[in-house]
Amino acid sequence: MNIRFLTPKLHGLIDYAAAAGLIVFPFVLGIGASSPIAFWLSVAAGVAVICYSMLTGYTYSAAPVVPFKIHLVIDFVAAIAFALAPFIFGFAGLDAVYYWVLSAAVFLIVAVSQTEDQTLAATATAT
């Protein structure tokens, strides 16, 4: 069984939902109690996700100039940054947990996302 079941099209939907969450959750959860950077880092990350998603070569892109494999690398680097942010910026309590949960979620999404090559191979096998 292939662990990479998330197609680029579905990944794109998740990207825009995640971007909205990154922008809205700091307000809802009260992120930023240990440092205002915790609040603004999430909002900035949400805006960044929208920007690079609009440039990624998948269904929901405005100008597909970034290959999906590069998009996955950016996601992976973001997951590492989220994991390290509490240590680098001194986040504590909910702020730290928030970033560690974000990190785990992004690592999981990257791990289960197909590349274009895998999507094409799966389509060819199915036909």
Q: Residues 22-76: pLDDT tens digits?
A: 999 999 999 999 999 999 999 999 999 999 999 999 998 999 999 999 999 999 9
Q: What dihedral do alpha carbons 87, 90, 94, 97 form, nearest 10°?
A: 0
Tell me the percentage of the chain whose pLDDT exceeds 70.
Answer: 90
3-state secondary structure (DSSP) of residue 104: helix
* Residue 90 predicted with pLDDT over 60: yes
Q: Is the pTM of this model over 0.85?
A: yes
CA 72 to chain centre: 9
Phi, psi angle pair for 59, to nearest 5°: -50, -40
